[in-house]
Structure 1
Amino acid sequence: MKTVNVKERVLEAAQMLFSKNGYNAVSMRAIAKAADANVGSLTYHFGSKANLLREIYLRHTGPMNQRRMELLGEALRIENKETRLVAILRAYVLPAFSMSENGVGGGAEFTRMRAVMTAEGNEDASAIIADTFDETSRAFLRAISGCVPDASTEGLLWCSQFLLGSLYYALINPGRVTRLSDGEVDGSNRDVAIDQLVEASFASFSNLASKEDVNQ
């Protein structure tokens, strides 16, 4: 049986506790206890709780962001703006699902932790989230803007915010779709979820261009 080292146990325990209780309420002592380690080992490996959180983010989001940028590069070679926009949105959504399945993207637990961290508004967490995602997010916003060039910055940002929120919820709570449909719709069907997210987001972003045309 494979032995999990102390550092790995600490990362897993911290992610689990952060996803359930948030960042502020979880102490280094609580993490050490959950990891069957001592507080000194946490300090040795990570130095601080903020550094521990940063490592959790980096280990999951590094590969996901890399895949997103690879797919974005492919999407940007498409000439037709509508087809390109669909490909850009898929480039953003697809890695979150595929990497959550194989564990690289952290799965539902990490996605839940991200949602909790965002809502909590802790300065350490906010800085880590910005460092981890802002560069990639700006690249996608530029790419989407190129597909709807008349859209306002405000509109683009709000639509991207709604896309992110939808993505969070689709990953965290697919059972709600199944429950509300009385089993008619399988909320855990990854391919359908991706298609629905992309379709809804495409309509949202495309509508920005039509709104600008009406206002001119």
Structure 2
Amino acid sequence: MSAKKQPARRKQADRREESRERILDAAEELLAGRGYDGVTMREIGKAAGADTSLVHYYFDNKAGLFNAVIARRAGVVNDAREAALDAYAAAHKGNMTAQGVLRAYLEPTFSFMMSGEPGYLNYGALIAKLNSTAMGGDVDTTHTPFDPVVERLVNLLNEVRPEVSRADLYWYYHFVSGAISLSLAQTGRIDVLSGGLCRSDDFATILDRMVRVLGQGFEALAT
């Protein structure tokens, strides 16, 4: 008797997971485009084809939903960054450069964006908002799932130049994070300013220029 009921339970679990993913997809797109304060739970539920009560059932409140959206892809991004940093550190032990460390850190992120997958494009825009907006309320923007990988980046840069103060290493990351956030936001401003010479969706060029400019800028840090 129990063996007959098991497939039905699995199907019900699958339906719940599909419903949850639809809500996360809808929230990701709406939050990326309109920001945390510009979207309601009711609007997210409507976009996902789900009743608002179901959205509350899965995520409790908007802050819980926002955190779930951020966490959903964070593991994939973190794993890719960690693997790239580990591979670079192992291959260049005792001979690392700031440009090499930066490329290992940045390339996975921009590879996701270069895939053109709408989910990752929305996620990139949402991370840009998370990095540059003090949202207040129940959302803590001072801590993110990416913090351990940031520490790994800072530690590797410290190995490149042990004489640089820890404070300057964090300031350096602050500037790197700003460049990443502006690039992920794809505002189109550089397209207009450059008269079409530069495109905010040209992630391959953005990656190349960021590595070269910010990598060389690392050498300017005071000892």
Q: Normalising by structure 2, report the TM-score.
A: 0.80
The letter of the residue matching 1:122 is G
- What RMSD in Å do the two structures reach over aligned CA positions? 2.6
The letter of the residue matching 1:62 is G
CA–CA distance in 1 between the matches of 2:39 and 2:191? Answer: 33
Please state how far the C-alpha of 1:163 moved relative to its aligned partner: 0.7
CA–CA distance in 1 between the matches of 2:116 and 2:69? Answer: 13
CA–CA distance in 1 between the matches of 2:76 and 2:171? Answer: 26
2:163 is aligned with 1:150: yes
Evaluate the alpha carbon distance shift between residue 174 and residue 122 of structure 1 in structure 2; reply closer, same or farther with a 3 A threshold: closer
Please state how far the C-alpha of 1:122 moved relative to its aligned partner: 2.4
The letter of the residue matching 2:62 is K
CA–CA distance in 2 between the matches of 1:74 and 1:170? Answer: 25
Paired position in structure 2 for 1:39: 52
- Is the contact made by 1:117 and 1:125 (CA closer than 8 Å) also made in structure 2? no
Evaluate the alpha carbon distance shift between residue 47 and residue 190 of structure 1 in structure 2; reply closer, same or farther with a 3 A threshold: same
Paired position in structure 1 for 2:184: 171
Paired position in structure 2 for 1:91: 104
Q: Give me the identity figure in percent.
A: 27
CA–CA distance in 1 between the matches of 2:58 and 2:116? Answer: 23
CA–CA distance in 2 between the matches of 1:11 and 1:164? Answer: 25
Alignment of 1:55-204 (within 5 A): 55-77=68-90, 78-79=92-93, 81=95, 83-102=96-115, 106-118=119-131, 119-126=133-140, 130-173=143-186, 175-204=188-217
Task: Classify the secondary structure of the residue corresponding to 2:36.
Answer: coil
Q: Which runs of 5+ in 1 are unaligned?
A: none
- Is the contact made by 1:148 and 1:205 (CA closer than 8 Å) also made in structure 2? no
CA–CA distance in 2 between the matches of 1:186 and 1:109? Answer: 18
- Is the contact made by 1:32 and 1:39 (CA closer than 8 Å) also made in structure 2? yes
- Is the contact made by 1:99 and 1:106 (CA closer than 8 Å) also made in structure 2? no
Q: Which moved more, 1:108-117 or 1:196-205?
A: 108-117
- Is the contact made by 2:32 and 2:129 (CA closer than 8 Å) also made in structure 1? yes
Evaluate the alpha carbon distance shift between residue 188 and residue 21 of structure 1 in structure 2; reply closer, same or farther with a 3 A threshold: closer
- Is the contact made by 1:100 and 1:108 (CA closer than 8 Å) also made in structure 2? yes
CA–CA distance in 2 between the matches of 1:125 and 1:90? Answer: 30
Please state how far the C-alpha of 1:96 moved relative to its aligned partner: 1.1
- Is the contact made by 2:110 and 2:204 (CA closer than 8 Å) also made in structure 1? no
Q: Which moved more, 1:146-155 or 1:106-115?
A: 106-115
CA–CA distance in 1 between the matches of 2:102 and 2:110? Answer: 13
CA–CA distance in 1 between the matches of 2:63 and 2:76? Answer: 21
The letter of the residue matching 2:136 is N
CA–CA distance in 2 between the matches of 1:76 and 1:105? Answer: 32
Q: How many residues align?
A: 206
Bigger-Rg structure (1/2): 2
